[in-house]
Chain A
Amino acid sequence: MSSVTTTLNEYRRREGTNRLGLWLFLISDTFVFAGMFVARFYLLGSGTRPEVSQELGLAITTLLLISSYFMYTAETAMAFGDTRKYYRSLMVTIALGTLFLIGVVAVEWPLAHYDGSVPTSIFFLMTGFHAFHVLTGIFFLVIVYRNSKKGLYTAERHWPVEAAAVYWHFVDVVWIFFYPALYLIGGVAG
């Protein structure tokens, strides 16, 4: 939306509409993840899980959670006009998110050894959907980074930063449910 030529009031009004739109989108997206979550328990019960590397799981989860912290820092910094802190924190978020992605796709997936069985199918389905959202989230963050370099955002007007942050936190919250469901519950599926 046009950020320079509108009055602050009009901007806030538009921002509120966009905010509602974003949250509705996330509510909708939640249903997909909820469906997969249900499928996991329907198929494997609550006593089994796929065979995956716990250390790796813990590591990438930590990375993602920390990245969320830096996302929060970045958004707050932008709101207070601290651009240097904003750029640094945003960079860290992107870096950690990328590491998470690499951890899942390049390391965990080969280790999990997909063989078409129910446990590996569920695992790859859920982590795959989630990784896709992480990827698009990173994409979103990179765009926001570039546009902020162009000076498009100010402390009063930085809706895309808030939007990217909310999206990133959403992706994190999904993982907070998926990680225990896939890694922590029960014993390894026979």
Chain B
Amino acid sequence: MNEQKKGGFFSIGLVKGILGYVVGMVVGLALVTVLRMILGLPATTPWDPQAKTFFFVEGAWVAGALLGTIFFILSVGVASDWFKWMRGVETPSHPQDAFEHGAKRYLSASFDHKVIGVQYGFTSLVVFMLAGFFALIFRTELAAPGMQYLNLDQYNTMFTLHGIVMIVAILLGVGAISNYLVPLMIGANDMAFPRLNAFAFWINVPAAVTLLSSILLGGLETGWTGYPPLSQTSPSLGMSMFFWGVYFAGMSSILGSLNVITTTIRMRAKGMGYFRMPILVWTALATAMIGLTATQLIGLSFQMVSFERLFGMTFFHLEGNPILFQHLFWFYSHPAVYVFVLVGLGTISELLPVFARKPLFGYKWVALSAFGIALVGFLVWAHHMFTSGMESYLRVPFMYSTLLVAVPTGIKFFSWVGTLWGGKLSFETPSLFVLGAISIFLLGGLSGPPNGTVSTDLHLQDTYWIVGHFHATMFGGFVFPFFAALYYWFPKVSGRMYNEKLGKLHFFLMLPAFYVQSLGQMQVGLLGMRRRIADYDPALAPDIQLTQLLITIAAFVIGLSVLIAVVNFVVSAARGKVAVANPWRSRSPEFMLPSPIPVHNYGDHPFEVIGEPYDYGLAGSAYVSIDPERAPKREEPPAVSATAPAATD
């Protein structure tokens, strides 16, 4: 991409991409329609939203979405080097961004992992708020019994989109943290594959557009899990948009994971052994290993249902088997939840030592527990299917494997307590968020074993208890740590400090509201409220009505607190106090660089690992040196004296 210092509105990557999407959509629609006319097949349908027909046939809309996505990618400019390689033209080893600075830089193709990290982070927040907005819409409906303002179809569409768009937001947030921090933490100057990195970010945009177009094309009635035969027979065209939108979002996850793994394995600086990496890199690596492999299965399962719809194939209905879909689907979607939370747990492990001024307790155990969780996470998927009609006896081994996940997860919890115990805690906003995260993830994690035990799960499956369980794990494993990370690294990324009072306000609104929400959901679920319903049974209403109202209020409080945070970030980025390089006195290498970080990270600095990452309290120790004046031959740090009370592994 040539450097463009000036350029109008239409030189912005995002704009070009959207235009490309529109063109691709038109071409796709036209192609299939014309093809069908030639073949003598019915090429159009009446325009009747009630009957869920939208002039073009479903296959045409799908072709439009596919070509729209392809044209988007071509137009935004992330694939241009690849085409050059195909033509045998050489390119510089690190590609140039479309713009060097300014807002346009962030809205166009950039190949700098820090810019991409910010792009992921910003998009994540936007998408997160959108998904939250959908939740507020249907939570308002649920606040009182009876249907007040939504109809059943709209309600179903809202919670379906809330689920899948939240998942996309979480994947983007995980991408933000991994992409921004992994190279910095291992001493690399960028990711292994910068162009792939840009591609993996930008494909989320057409994916989201495609996904959201389902609102206009008939809505969704299946929940984000899209089980056939309902998803196969559902008359809504939006169903196909859902499948293909998710497919491309999955592609982003897979390719981003590939990048993180390669970067971590190949680009660690000298001396950065695996057990000297910051713990966050361990969790990013474990996350990437799941993302690389398991994600393909949701792509496959959704494609198979899509082919059932488009080509009349039979896999999951008639002589096919609907349980097969569930196996394929959950084989990804369970490990996926560890993709959602591992990086958040890594953030907790990363931040606690800084705010407790104490080493991470049992670093090696914590590091390996991330891999333990990832591995065991592949073996448990059928616990989502205990009532599905799968072989009855098979449920028992899955119960054992499911409960086993508690062991590596427990190691993390105990290690966190061990880190805090005897420390010197301070309570700046990032610290509050990780502490809150621990308690919430604990609630979520503890509400898991009743689901993992088959007999109790018979009562809990498809109820609001499950909803409470996964909201607690998601908030504790992603939302709270994500905000902790945003506040923590905000000064490093933007060069300015956020407003601490607003940060604390955000926390003190969000934490209690979340507890009300989660405990409320668990309560009503136990009492008999099913999930994914627009209204509760009058027989149940007296018991749960008050709780429903409280949950809705809590949801609004959470929404308000998020708004406060976003305002804080936006205003502080423009006008906040200038931040120093290391406001938290962290030992982590990225804090040795100025804020904001220069384009080439460590550039020509020698990146030397001269100690352990979490040796807080060890006088005279440092972790990494980027000081060119330090002797290139480093001496071993002096041995810990005999008076040290620390036990060793």
Sample (14) of A-B pairs whose CB atoms are under 8 Å apart: A3-B90, A5-B90, A14-B93, A20-B261, A28-B295, A32-B296, A32-B299, A35-B297, A35-B328, A42-B327, A43-B315, A43-B324, A118-B320, A121-B308
Asked if B88 and A146 make an inter-chain contact with CB atoms under 8 angstroms apart, the answer reads yes
Q: Which partner residue on chain B sits nearest A21 by CB separation? A: B262
A24 within 8 A of partner (CB): yes
Asked if A17 and B315 make an inter-chain contact with CB atoms under 8 angstroms apart, the answer reads no
Pick the residue among B192, B299, B320 that contacts A17 (CB under 8 A).
B192
Q: Which partner residue on chain B sits nearest A143 by CB separation? A: B86
Specify the main secondary structure of chain A where it touches its partner.
Answer: helix
Beyond A24-B261, A24-B262, A39-B328, whether A116 also contacts B93 by CB under 8 A is no
Asked if B296 and A43 make an inter-chain contact with CB atoms under 8 angstroms apart, the answer reads no
Asked if A21 and B321 make an inter-chain contact with CB atoms under 8 angstroms apart, the answer reads no
Asked if B319 and A125 make an inter-chain contact with CB atoms under 8 angstroms apart, the answer reads no
B446 within 8 A of partner (CB): no
Asked if A118 and B93 make an inter-chain contact with CB atoms under 8 angstroms apart, the answer reads no
Given A21-B193, A121-B308, 17 further pairs, Cβ under 8 A: A2-B93, A3-B90, A4-B90, A17-B192, A21-B192, A21-B196, A28-B258, A29-B296, A31-B297, A35-B297, A35-B331, A118-B320, A121-B307, A121-B314, A121-B315, A121-B320, A124-B313
Q: How near does chain A come to B386, taking the closest CB pair, in angstroms?
A: 18
Binary B-proximity of A24-66 (CB < 8 A = 1, otherwise 0) = 1101110110011011001100000000000000000000000
Report the Cα distance A31→B313, complex, angstroms. Answer: 21
Asked if B192 and A116 make an inter-chain contact with CB atoms under 8 angstroms apart, the answer reads no
B315 cross-chain contacts in A, Cβ below 8 A: 39, 43, 118, 121-122, 125
Report the Cα distance A72→B90, complex, angstroms. Answer: 26
Q: How near does chain A come to B304, taking the closest CB pair, in angstroms?
A: 7
Query: Which A residues are closer than 8 A to B by beta carbons?
Result: 1-6, 14, 16-17, 20-21, 24-25, 27-29, 31-32, 35-36, 38-39, 42-43, 116-118, 121-122, 124-125, 143, 146-147, 150, 152
Q: How near does chain B come to A167, taking the closest CB pair, in angstroms?
A: 14
Beyond A42-B324, A117-B314, whether A31 also contacts B294 by CB under 8 A is yes
Beyond A3-B90, A43-B315, whether A32 also contacts B262 by CB under 8 A is no
Residues in B271-299 with C-beta less than 8 Å from chain A: 292-297, 299
Binary A-proximity of B302-322 (CB < 8 A = 1, otherwise 0) = 001001100111110011110
B327 cross-chain contacts in A, Cβ below 8 A: 38, 42
B91 within 8 A of partner (CB): yes
A150 cross-chain contacts in B, Cβ below 8 A: 88
Q: How near does chain B come to A121, taking the closest CB pair, in angstroms?
A: 4
Interface centre among B294, B307, B308, B315 (most CB of A within 10 A): B315
B86 cross-chain contacts in A, Cβ below 8 A: 143, 147
Pick the residue among A29, A117, A125, A147 that contacts B304 (CB under 8 A).
A125
Report the Cα distance A5→B300, complex, angstroms. Answer: 42
Report the Cα distance A21→B259, complex, angstroms. Answer: 7
B266 within 8 A of partner (CB): yes
B254 within 8 A of partner (CB): yes
B294 cross-chain contacts in A, Cβ below 8 A: 31
